[in-house]
Structure 1
Amino acid sequence: MSSAQLALSYGQAFVAPDRRRHRSSMSVRFPEPALLHAKGASALISDSTSRNAMAKQAGDLSVRGFLTDYYSTPDHWDVKTSATRVLRSLNSWCYSQSQLVTEGSYVSSLSAMVFRGRDAHLFHMGDTVVFRLRGAEFEQLTHDHVTDLGGYRYPSRALGMDNSIDIEYLRLPIKQGDLFLFTTQAVLGTLMPSEYVQLIRQDASDLNAACDRLAQEAVSRAQARGYGAEQFCFQLVRIDQLPDEQSDSPGRPYGDLPIPPELSTGDRLDGMEVRAVLSRTAQSRVYRVIDVTTGREMVMKAPSPELSNRNAYLEHFLLQQWVVERVKSPFVVRVIEPSRPRRYLYYLMAYVEGETLAEWARRHPQASLTQRLDIANQLGKAIQALHHRDVLHQQIHPGNVMIDTHGQVVLTDFSACQQLDAISSKDNHELVRQVGLTEHSAPEYALDDTVGRRSDQYSFASTVYWLLAGELPYALPPHRLHGHTDLEQLVYRSARTRNPEVTPALDEALRRALDPQRALRFRRMSEFLHALRQPLSTERSGRTSPRRLREPANFWQGVAGILLLLLVLSWLLK
């Protein structure tokens, strides 16, 4: 006998003369059984202000962005972790994009409810509204986060409004027959709670008809009271069936797939043959493999077989894949979906034909400053792509930077990557130590201080300094610090004394990015990258301008020489 599964019904109604200009968006997703068990079903509503020129784009993007990213999070993450991380990442993206437009913004209110097992998880930002109807009890579950300015009410704590976001979270048990109503702030003041209940209960079997009744009555009430009623929307979700108690039991924190056994050259796993063992560490194994069917070369990364009972690292291992999948950049290695179902725990990345930055530097000791700075700027773009997704790499050093056969930089190895919302925990310092501090690690890692984007900036700057000068910026590597008093021993060694091509401005930029005090480094990575590009533009302009000045001079010098020769010949022939 099969166990009962979660089942939902829903209905919707819009009130808008032109749907293309509607500022609200709503959606319900009920995924296939496997994803339903891991992630649950979702219902969302978003709304932007009427004074926002990009209201519809903001509302649509917030709903689509949540649904896309939430169902892409690792299966072992719980609902709160998955939704919170997705919303914070989405908020950062909306906020950054709003800074690039001149009219309007990507700010919107959003209420998202996830139904998993026998619980509902509500995530609320701004002034959208969610009610629950249970029997005759009609209760508002959300709080109205609004601010009064000049007689107008604006949403506060909304998605994309600030670089950080305060998410209202509520977890509540659900019962069969529960009804949840999603609507917008514009509806408040039109209907009384008893009228909501009456209109919904008239024919609760048809939720679309119930939403239509709510919309018609709300419009009628609004018009009678003399204010606009052109932007109403309603969404009803009913719990038709709850899953069995035992069917909601979570699996192992790292999923049901076993860790692959130790592999050697020639071994096969899931239709892939190992061509070379690239790395064996205490935490992971990295292999170069080829798909025996398609012939495609890839890199397989799997946890070390010795980690079978160390679930903390295994959770982070799955985070690595999720992080790399979300970062889209030609300078960051790509994750590849396997061509057949996986029977073991691993993930696949594109194989980069080339060499590490350390190997490249050994083979090109005479490389020019322009070549080295070009590599540095490509690496900087890779780090920026991670930071735009609120991800720290935390292991930037020459061994983790690949240069392919076309000279393009690709950042690899995400063993210590972490999202910004998790870096304050002690687990992050433990993770970095477990993976291993390097001579390019920022001092704050050795001192257990707070880390952030500027910590990656330090490692990046240390790598660039090494690339330009051939050694480290400090006699005492920061990863060997034992206490804050040791910071006094970190005296910057000018890169110009090691490489005369380094300009004073470039040396000063490196010194600032490598400051032992995190707060004294560049505020943004873009400022440091701008400083790295300056020598390139100066050198290019310096190469072209003198040539243009010399060419006319050489021409006339040649003409004068010929005329002088002709004059001498004329004297000799007289």
Structure 2
Amino acid sequence: MATPRLSLSYGQAFVAPDRRHHRSSMSVSMPDERQMQSKGAAALVSDSASRNALAKQASDLSVRGFLADYYSTPEHWEIKISVHRVLHSLNAWCHGQTRQVQDGSYVSSLSTLIFLGRDAHLFHVGDTLVFRLRGAEFEQLTRDHVTDLGGYRYPARALGMDARVDVDYAAIPLKQGDIFLFTTQSVRGTLMPSDYVGLIRQDASDLDAACERLAQAAKERAGERGYGSDSFCFQLVRVDELPDATPDRPSRVYGDLPIPPELNKGDRLDGFEVDDVLSRTAHSRVYRVHDIKSGRTSVLKAPSPELSNRNVYLEHFLLQQWVVERVHSPFVVRVVEPSRPRRYLYYLMRHVEGVTLTEWVRLHPMASLAQRLDLASQLGKALQALHRRDLIHQQVHPDNVLIDPHGQVILADFSACHLRDVDGHRRSRRLVQQVGLNEHSAPEYALDDEVGRRSDQYALASTIYWLLTGDLPYAVPTNRLRSHTDLEQLSYRSARSLNPEVSDELDEALRRALDPQRSLRFRRLSEFLYHLKPVRHGREESSIPGERKEPTKLWQCIAALLMLLLVLSWWLR
């Protein structure tokens, strides 16, 4: 007899002549069997304020963005970790976009239920509504987070409203026959609980028809009470079948894949042959491999075999893959999808033909200031791509930066990359300390202080300082600091004193980005990158006496010639 699986049915209805102009968005996602076992099914509703010019874009984006990111998270992550990371990242993006637009905003409410096994996991921000109908009991599961302003009710604690978002969470045991209703705040004041129960139970076998009945009844009730009825939406999800109760398998924590054994040149794994061993560290192994069938070259990264029992690192290892998959930038290495199912725990990255920044400097000792600043600017753009996804790199230094034959910078190492403000700063610092501090690490890592994006700014500025001068900004390397009193002994060495081509303006920008006190650095990375543009420094240099000497002499000669002709004309009279 077949083992019972989670089975759901759903229906939807909008009250709008043209759904494209609706300010709400809904969706139910039931993935393939593998993801259904690890991630479950997702049902969600999103809504934006009626007076928002970008309401439709905001609600659609939050739904599509959530589903795309949630099903891209590593399968071994717990639901709560996955959803919180996705919502915090999505909130940061929406908040950043809202600050850049003048008309409208990307603020929206969002409620989602993740159905996995015999439980549903509710996550909620703002004022969207989720109800549960169990038998004759009709219960609201979400809280209304609203604020009254000028006679209008606006969502509070919504996506994109602030730099941080507070997410409501609840785990809900499921029973066969449970029906969940998703709708928006606009339905308030139309239907009573008894109306919902009667209209849904009238024919619960057809959920689309039930949603249509709810929409029509709400529209009629709104018309009777004299207010707009073109913004209602209803979504019903019914639990048709539940799986048997089974204990969680320990392998769910790590996935079912074993760590690869130690590999050497010529060894084969999952249809790949090892061409070279690029790196062996206490935490990972990095190999250059080629696909035996297609011949395509890529880079394979796997956990160190000695770490098979170190659960924390294995969790972070899969975070690295997730990081690379969701950051899309020409300056950040890309993930390569394997052509066959994996039998071991690893991930593949695009192979970059090139050298590290350390090797590039050795091979190009006569490189101009403009060339070096161009590399610095590209590296800054790579960090910006990470920061836009609410990620901090934490290990920016010359050996983690690749330069391809065309002079393009590729950031290729994510061994300490961390999602900001989700698991806490202390765990982030421990991760960096485990991977290892370096001479470009910000002082706060050695002193166990709070870290953030400005910590990446310091490492970037330190790397650029080294690129321009061949030295470090302080006589004492920051990874050797032992106490806060050591900060007072750090005295910035002017980059201009080591390289006269560095302008005073650039030197001052480096000094500020390298301030030992994190709060005194540039507030945004873009402010620091503004000072790295080679054009600025080229203009500054050309404005100094060289370029204007010849035009000045030309006009002096013309004036002298005219004076001579004038004198001759007087003489010949």
* TM-score clears 0.5: yes
Mean alpha-carbon deviation: is it higher for 276-285 or for 485-494? 485-494
Q: How does 1:58-97 map to 2 (within 5 A)?
A: 58-97=58-97
1:307 corresponding residue in structure 2? 307
User: Which ranges of 4 or more aligned residues in structure 1 deviate by more than 3 Å?
Assistant: 247-250, 540-558
Say if 2:252 is the partner of 1:287: no
1:184 CA drift (Å) = 0.7
Q: 2:421 — aligned with what?
A: 421
Return the letter of the residue paired with 1:536: V
The question of whether the paired residues in 2 share the 8 Å contact of 1:424 and 1:450 is answered with no
Structure 1 pair 78/423, CA: closer, same or farther in 2 (3 Å)? Answer: closer
The reply on whether 1:215 has 2:215 as its aligned counterpart is yes
> Which residue number in structure 2 is paired with residue 338 of structure 1?
338
- Map 1:316-395; keep pairs closer than 5 Å: 316-395=316-395
Q: What's the counterpart of residue 569 of structure 1?
A: none
1:126-183 per-position Cα deviation (integer Å, ceiling 9, x unaligned) = 1110000111111011111111011111111111111111111111111111110001
Alpha-carbon distance, 1:507 to partner? 1.1
Q: How big is each residue's C-alpha offset from its partner over 1:12-66, in whole Å with a ceiling of 9 and x where there is no partner?
A: 1110122121101101011111100100101011111111111111111111111
Cα deviation for residue 2 of structure 1 reads: 2.8
Range with bigger deviation, 491-500 or 65-74:
491-500
Q: Distance in 1 between matches of 2:228 and 2:433?
A: 60
Give, in angstroms, the shift of residue 424 of structure 1: 2.5
Separation in 1, partners of 2:246, 2:72:
25
Partner Cα distance (1:429, 1:68) in 2: 29
Unaligned runs of 5+ in 1: 565-574
Q: Give the 3-state SS of the residue equivalent to 1:11 in structure 2.
A: strand
**In structure 2, what is the equivalent of residue 17 of structure 1?**
17
- Native 8 Å contact 2:190 2:222 kept in 1: yes
What are the residue-to-residue correspondences of 1:382-461 with 2, within 5 Å?
A: 382-422=382-422, 424-461=424-461
Contact kept, 8 Å, 2:426 with 2:450, in 1: the verdict is no
Query: 1:161 corresponds to which residue?
Result: 161
Partner Cα separation in structure 2 for residue 218 and residue 402 of structure 1: 60
Tell whether 2:213 aligns with 1:186.
Answer: no
CA displacement, residues 442-484 of structure 1 (integer Å, 9 cap, x when unaligned): 1111111110001001111110111111111111111111111
Q: Percent identity?
A: 70
d(CA) in 2 for partners of 1:528 and 1:125? 34
Q: Conserved in 1, the CA contact under 8 Å of 2:84 and 2:422?
A: no
Counterpart for residue 570 of structure 2: none
Residue of structure 2 in register with 1:266 after alignment: 266
Q: Cα offset for 1:254?
A: 1.6
Report the CA distance between 1:551 and its aligned residue: 6.6
Distance 2:548 2:476 in 1: 48
Change (3 A) 1:423 1:536: farther
Does the aligned pair in 1 maintain the 2:26–2:44 contact within 8 Å?
yes
Q: CA deviation at 1:428?
A: 2.2
What code does the residue aligned with 1:537 have?
R
Residues of 1 paired with 2:444 and 2:248: CA distance?
Answer: 42
Residue 253 of structure 2: SS of its match in structure 1?
Answer: coil
Letter in 2 for 1:384: Q
Kindly state the Cα deviation for residue 117 of structure 1 after the two structures are TM-superposed: 0.9
Shift of 1:101: 2.0
Specify the alignment match of 1:143 in structure 2. Answer: 143
Q: Please give the alpha-carbon distance, in whole angstroms, between the structure 1 residues aligned to 2:399 and 2:249.
A: 42
Shift of 1:99: 2.1
Structure 1 residues 12 and 248: CA distance shift in structure 2, 3 A: farther
Give the total of aligned pairs: 561
Q: 35-44 or 506-515: which moved more?
A: 506-515
Instruction: In structure 2, give the amino acid aligned to 1:81.
Output: I
> Which is further off, 150-159 or 244-253?
244-253
For structure 2, the 5+ residue unaligned runs are 565-573
- The DSSP-based 3-state class of the residue aligned with 1:75 is coil
> What is the CA–CA distance in structure 1 between the aligned matches of 2:335 and 2:196, rounded to whole Å?
49
Say whether the 8 Å CA contact 2:429–2:451 is kept in structure 1. no
Counterpart for residue 569 of structure 2: none
Q: Is the 8 A contact 1:424 1:451 kept in 2?
A: no
CA distance in 1, matches of 2:249, 2:239: 20
One-letter amino acid of the structure 2 residue matched with residue 486 of structure 1: D
Retained in 2: the 8 A contact 1:177–1:240?
yes
C-alpha distance in 1, partners of 2:249/2:188?
Answer: 39
Counterpart residue number, 2:199: 199
Q: Is the 8 A contact 1:302 1:346 kept in 2?
A: yes
1:254-305 deviations in Å (ceiling 9; x for gaps): 2111111111111111111111111000000011111121121111111111
Q: 2:447·2:481 contact (CA, 8 Å) conserved in 1? A: yes
SS of the aligned residue for 1:102 comes to coil
Deviation per CA, 1:89-129, whole angstroms, max 9, x where unpaired?
11111111122222111111111110111111111111110
Partner-residue secondary structure (3-state), 1:532: coil
Residue 213 (structure 1) shift:
0.9
Secondary structure of 1:68's aligned partner? helix
Cα separation, partners in 2 of 1:422 and 1:195, compared to 1, 3 Å: closer
TM-score by length of 1: 0.94
Q: 2:174 maps to which residue?
A: 174
1:475 maps to 475
Local SS of the residue matching 1:450 = coil
Partner Cα distance (1:214, 1:272) in 2:
56
RMSD of equivalent CA atoms: 2.0
Q: Is 1:3 aligned to residue 3 of structure 2?
A: yes
1:268·1:274 contact (CA, 8 Å) conserved in 2?
Answer: yes
Amino acid corresponding to residue 424 of structure 1 in structure 2: G
CA-to-aligned-CA distance 1:337-357 (integer Å, 9 cap, x gap): 111111111111111111100
Going from structure 1 to structure 2, the CA distance change for 1:543 and 1:296 (only over 3 Å counts) comes to farther
Q: CA deviation at 1:248?
A: 5.4
1:285 counterpart letter in structure 2 = R
Amino acid at match of 2:284: S
Native 8 Å contact 2:176 2:241 kept in 1: yes
1:520 aligns with 2:514: no
Deviation (angstroms), 1:544: 8.9
Instruction: Name the SS of the counterpart of 1:133 in structure 2.
Output: strand
Cα separation, partners in 2 of 1:309 and 1:434, compared to 1, 3 Å: same
8 Å CA contact retained: 1:111, 1:130: yes
Provide the secondary structure at the position in 1 that maps to 2:209.
Answer: helix
Q: How far does residue 485 in structure 1 lie from its aligned partner after superposition?
A: 1.4
The answer on 1:237 being equivalent to 2:237 is yes
3-state SS of the aligned residue for 2:180? strand
User: What SS does the corresponding residue of 1:468 show, helix, strand or coil?
Assistant: helix
The more displaced of 34-43 and 546-555 is 546-555
CA distance in 2, matches of 1:394, 1:310: 21
SS of match in other structure, 1:515: coil
Query: Structure 2 vs 1, CA of residues 275 and 120 (structure 1 numbering), >3 Å: closer, same or farther?
Result: same
Q: CA deviation at 1:487?
A: 1.2
Distance across 2 between alignment mates of 1:504 and 1:55: 47
Superposition deviation, residue 525 in structure 1: 0.4
